[in-house]
Amino acid sequence: YYVGKIGTNQYAGNSSIKGLNFNLEQQGGYMSWSVMKSSMDPTYTMIWTYANKTVGNYAGGKLHAGADIDMHNYYLRNVNFEGGGITGTLMFTQIVGMNTNGTAARWYNNSKLVFQNGILVDATWGNG
């Protein structure tokens, strides 16, 4: 049965913008960039795969990575993390020295950790 094509197409709404397309039809299971890791391997290993339907352990409707992704210092934008994440600032006193009786001997006030969507984006602390 027909699953799609790799070819050229034009941008919907502006036929003067042309491009290369990987087109997967509704009945197609997946599209993938794959690699033969060894000449002894019996199959190719899927490295970057869009699963239209659940295929093995690849959940449908998702893009799957089978290798590390090196962003080359570019940004990852508009991201939501499963389970969410906190956004806020934690102000604290950083203890950097203790007395022999267990009390704080030296500390820095106004240390802080700043989180956005669960990612630490800024921090201030003393060098004690």
Task: Convert the pLDDT of each residue in 4-42 to its tens digit.
Answer: 999 999 999 999 999 999 999 999 999 999 999 999 999
Asked if residue 128 has pLDDT above 70, the reply is no
pLDDT digits (tens, 9 = 90+) for 42-76: 999 999 999 999 999 999 999 999 999 999 999 98
Q: What is the DSSP string of 67-107?
A: S----TT----S---TT----EEEEEEEEEEE-TTSSEEEE
Quote the CA–CA distance of 92 and 125 in Å, as a whole number: 9
This prediction's pTM? 0.67
pLDDT in tens, 85-99: 899 999 999 999 999
